[in-house]
Every structure is written in structure tokens, then in C-alpha cells.
Chain A
């Protein structure tokens, strides 16, 4: 797959083209599906839009859903910018959640909010970062593919978290049900009044802007991009690839860890079943729909969140199956890949036409 890694001018026009093609493709697939299920496609899309956008509450919910997607999307995009595949965001998400929950419940439950909250946030980031350093270290030391190791570590992380809340961390007042006790309120992320949208969203937006600037304006960002575009040139120029692998994977893991922290400290307020819902994997979709551009990732995450939140209205109002939003998400990604493929075909066709004409 040759996604991204193109010049900046190509980016602007290419981005608009392939993103709108992807959108068009997804809408068309959705319309066909709605028609097959006996629903009026226009009405279905209206229901979705209303469910996701047309009230303060709906918008708040969209932001709740978008917050972890922005962070995991950034995590995948950052790693991919230097040609690293971080498929382990799900595990880093889980380890971030676990670390921050454990810290708030057992290490610092009595700290005042002013200290506990920032410390919990940092611990969450650290949990994800440390987990991501394992595939990075294995890659540097033993040339183990980070695709495999990061993916497999997802299962380890989830099992470890389950072990904790089924076993030693189980809520003693919980009648034996799995799940930790509720975190101390001082560790809860502040929310927007009247909504569940929490500080994790602000973190995501801030970090997206910071990454955008850092990748384009700093020496570090320059190195990361060169390593992604031309690894051999980077090595020739004396750039330290192994060290940068560690840094970038740790940062990527920290972003995913923050997403997990946000779900635990901002939304659920305890560790329990249903935490690992695939935000790590959906981050891959967000990253590529956003064309690995941090600001694009934000838009893509908002779009995916809108599809997921809006899709639920379909079931209530039109009686359509709940899997529609999953299919629409998939159609978005396929549309994007198809558009990328078409763009590759474009120049080739032009050349052929020119040859045929001459």
C-alpha cells in the first residue's frame, strides 16, 4: 500500500479529491443498503444527521466518541509518518486506562484534585508509552516486525486488564461482579457543562495542533518525515533511526494511552468489561482517512464519530439493523482506498493517452 508519502502540493488537491470520492462512495453504498432494507435513503441520512448533529446533546455525544478516535488516530498517523505500523493502539489504550485507574485507585487515592488529576493523565500516557516501547525495542534489537509484535501485545494487554478487574482489583463492594471500584472523584476529568464531552477532547485537539506544528516546523519533525519518505537518505545523513523509533513509538503509545485514560477517567470512571471496544483499530481508519495529517485526523475522527452516533438513530426511528454504522465506516475506508488507487491510475492513463495520440 502506498498511502500518504507524497509532496505537499499533491497533498492539497489529492486530499480533497480522494476524501470526497471516499465520502461519495460511502454514501452510495449506504444508499444502496438502505434501499435494499426498504428504507428511503434520504430519510435515513436525515435521521443520521439529526441523531449526530442537531442538538446540543447529540453534538456532545459526538465529541465523547471523537475524543478517543482523535488520539488513537494521531497515534497511528505519527508512527506511520516514519513508516512504522503501530497496530497496537488497542493495547496501549488499555494499558493507559489500566495505569491511570490503578494509580488513582491504589497509589494516590487521597491526593487533592489539583495534583491527582494531572498526575493521573500523565500516568495514563506513560502506561501507553511503555507498552509501545516493547515493540519498538524488539524492532531495534531483534528486527522483529512491529506490526506483529504490537498487534499481539493487544491481546496480552486486554487479558492483563481483565485479570486485574476480575481478580486483585475487583470492587470489594461489588457482589463479586467484575470491575474495579469507582475512581475517586478527584481523578475524574472535568466535562463541558450539560454534556459528557471531557478534557480528553481538549487534549486531543491540542496535541493534534502541536503535532501538526512539530512535524512541519521542528528539526525533530523534519527527521521523522525524512525517515518516513526516504529511510536510506536519512541513514546516509547520519540520522539515528533506532533512537527515533523509540521516541516515535513511545509518543504514539502515549497518545493511545491518553485515549484510554480519557475513557476511564472521563466517561466510565472505573475499569470494567466493554472498555476495549476497538478505538485502537478505528484509529487506523481515522489516521488514513485523515491522510496522516494531524488536522485531517481530527476531521476524520469527527466524521467517524458522527457515523457511529448517527447510526444508532436508524435503529430506533427506522428499525434498521445496528450494523449499518459499521458497514458505513468500512465503506468510507474502502472508498478512500479506491480513490487512492484511482489517483495512481490517473497519470498512467494520461501517459497512455499521450502515447496513443502521438
Chain B
């Protein structure tokens, strides 16, 4: 009798579960990923692929994954995304900005399929966006550099976009904080010199720019490109570096003090699990250390224990959701106050940031 009762109760629960509005639980999710480069590019796409592997590990049989590599143009992206949508994938992730309009178009035609676009700003009922607050990692890397007394950093920046400008600013804010705490004499108007690659990855120019910066006497090279060639070049010149994206030390840049790492896995797990739970809705996800999405690699052996401890303490604050990196007073390069004391940059300000803080040398090309 008890077993029959239990079975009945289960059946009722199951029916209730099915009827509950918006809670269409899924047994298994088919997830597709459209990738920019190949999965072994040691940078952007490798980071996404690592995320895919984490997703598979976390959800096992409950997720089925397919991916397509090497999709560089919007025209190709539309074909691939539409192809997955017609094959009844539940959720399709587009992992680069270029796909935005293509995905936006396809999402309209497939209202039952869910779409997630990395780094863009267009959303629909069934299309969300996701990105990570890499600037929090950059702030920590800058802070570490300042604590260790590096006061003339050379940054190989990528594209002159708000994302990158924000990262350079966060690094510089952290750097100035670290320099103040370590009582290192420095020129407050010029602690971080920025040169532009005007590309997300360009192995040859990354190397030349990093070598040039090192030869000009910069004491640390900040890599920002998707590949770690600027860090490797710094190592060859005997100058330490800060890695970006993937852990540059893993790919042979052993002079890297720490790398700020994309950790897409937590977002992928969260989004797919939301479908399994029937709670998915289109959101603009922008995760930092609090929800996972960005992480720090292991520190280099040359990093002093106290400095590492201070950085980790800051990281804990960020993990608790206390993000005061862009709290005023903050001035731009001309000395004009952009964020007054007591104020904090809003997410909107951060997403549209097109000015450098005091301490950055170099300008944003138009």
C-alpha cells in the first residue's frame, strides 16, 4: 500500500510539475556552441572550450554538446546558428560579438529555441547575453604589479573598445593603489603606457609591440590579446608579464606573474541548468568574481607571499560582491573629474567607457 500511495503521490506531483506555468523541466538539454577560432587557439576559443568541458563534467548525461569552430563572419554564423536551430537544439551559444545581428535574426524565427550571445547588447524574449567582468581581474593584476613595485608598465592593448578601455583603467587603478601601499616612488601621471594592436590577436605585432615596450625600459608587460605572444616576448626580453584570457604560463610564458582568466564554465553550467530546471529566461548576464566567470591563475613563484595575500584579500571582497573599483574620485588624463567622490560608475558608464584615468599614457584612437 505505501508503495502504491507513493507512486500515486509521485504521479500527482509530476502532473502538477508539468502544469506549473513556466516550469517546463527538461530531462536533457542539447546545447550548441558556435566558436570563432579552433578549440586549440590557446586563447579566446580555448577558454570557451574549457567552459564547454566544465559543462559536460558538471551535467554529464543531462547535456549533449555540439560545436562548430572557425566561424569568423556574420554570414557564416547565421548559417551555422540557423542550422542548429533547425536541428532542435535547445540552446545555442554564440561566442563572439560578430554574431550578434545574425543571432538576433535567427532568434526571431525560432521562438522556442534559446539563444545566448557573448559580449553583445541585443536581446529578445529568447535571446540573452553573457559576459564577464574581466576588469575585476585586471584590477587585481594591476594591484599585484603595484605591490611588487612595478611603476612603468607597458600594455599591449587590443581593440579601442569600451571593454578594453575599462580593463586598462581598472588595471591602472589597481596599479596606483598597489604603488601607494608599497610606497614606491612613481610618476602618478604615467604608470601605464598603452599601445594598440587594433586586433584581438595578431601574434607578429604582439611580439613586436611587447619587444618595443620592453626595450623602451618598461618594467612589466601587460598582455591583453587573446594569444600570449606579448607575454612570451616579454619573457624573452627578461621582463615579467601579466597574462590574459587563458593562463599564459600554461602556454610557455613562464615569466608571467599571474594571468587573469576567462572562466566561462560557470556561466554555461548556470544557463543550461536553468533550462533543466525550467527557469531559463533571457538575461544580460555580467558576472564577476561573485558569481564566477573570471578567475586568477596560480601566482608565479617570484610573487612575494604578502603581496599574494593582499591580492587574494581583495579578490575575496570582490567575491562577496563588493566592487568599488570605479568608485570616485576618478579623473581622466586631463585631470578632469569624471566620477566625483562618493559616486560610483554605473554598469551603463562602464559599458560605454571611452576615457582613460589619470596614470595612463597613450590615447584612444578614433
Q: Which residues of A contact B (CB under 8 A)?
A: 57, 61, 64, 162, 166-168, 175-178, 182, 196, 263, 267-270, 272-275, 277, 309, 312, 315-316, 321-323
Residue among B98, B120, B161 making CB contact with A176, cutoff 8 Å = B161
A64–B38 touching, CB < 8 Å:
no
* Sampled A-B contacts (30; CB under 8 Å): A57-B83, A64-B75, A166-B365, A167-B365, A167-B366, A175-B352, A176-B352, A176-B354, A177-B120, A177-B121, A196-B78, A263-B75, A268-B101, A269-B101, A272-B74, A273-B97, A274-B74, A274-B75, A274-B98, A277-B72, A277-B76, A309-B79, A312-B79, A316-B67, A316-B68, A321-B69, A322-B38, A322-B68, A322-B69, A322-B70
**Can you name the residue of chain B whose Cβ is closest to the Cβ of A268?**
B74
Are A315's CB and B98's CB within 8 A? no
Please, how many angstroms separate the alpha-carbon atoms of A182 and B365 in the complex?
23
Assembly CA distance A269 to B78 (angstroms): 12
Report whether B69 and A316 are in contact in the complex, using a CB–CB cutoff of 8 Å: no
Q: Which B residues touch A162, using CB under 8 A?
A: 198
Which listed residue, B66, B78, B159, B352, touches A178 by the CB 8 Å rule? B159
What is the CB-to-nearest-CB distance from B105 to chain A, in angstroms, rounded to a whole number? 9
Interchain CB contact under 8 A, A177 and B97: yes
User: Is B82 at the interface (CB under 8 A from chain A)?
Assistant: yes
Q: Interface residues of B toward A: which range?
A: 20 to 34
The answer to whether A64 and B79 have CB atoms under 8 Å apart is yes
A323 touches B75 (CB 8 A): no
Give chain B residues whose Cβ lies under 8 Å from the Cβ of A57: 82-83, 86
> Nearest CB to that of B69 among chain A residues?
A322
Q: Which of B101, B120, B351 is packed against the most chain A CB atoms within 10 Å? A: B101
Shortest beta-carbon distance from A173 to chain B in Å: 9
A275 to B102, CA, bound (A): 13
| B90 vs chain A, min Cβ distance (A) | 15
| Known interface pairs A175-B352, A312-B83, A316-B66; 17 further A-B residue pairs with C-beta atoms within 8 A, sorted by A's residue number | A57-B86, A64-B79, A175-B121, A175-B162, A177-B121, A263-B75, A268-B74, A269-B101, A272-B74, A273-B98, A274-B98, A277-B73, A309-B79, A316-B32, A316-B84, A321-B38, A322-B69
Residues in B whose Cβ lies below 8 Å from that of A274: 72-75, 98
Q: Which residues of B contact A196 (CB under 8 A)?
A: 78-79
- Report whether A315 and B67 are in contact in the complex, using a CB–CB cutoff of 8 Å: yes
- Closest chain A residue to B70 by CB distance? A322
- Measured CB to CB, the closest approach of chain A to B22, in angstroms, equals 31
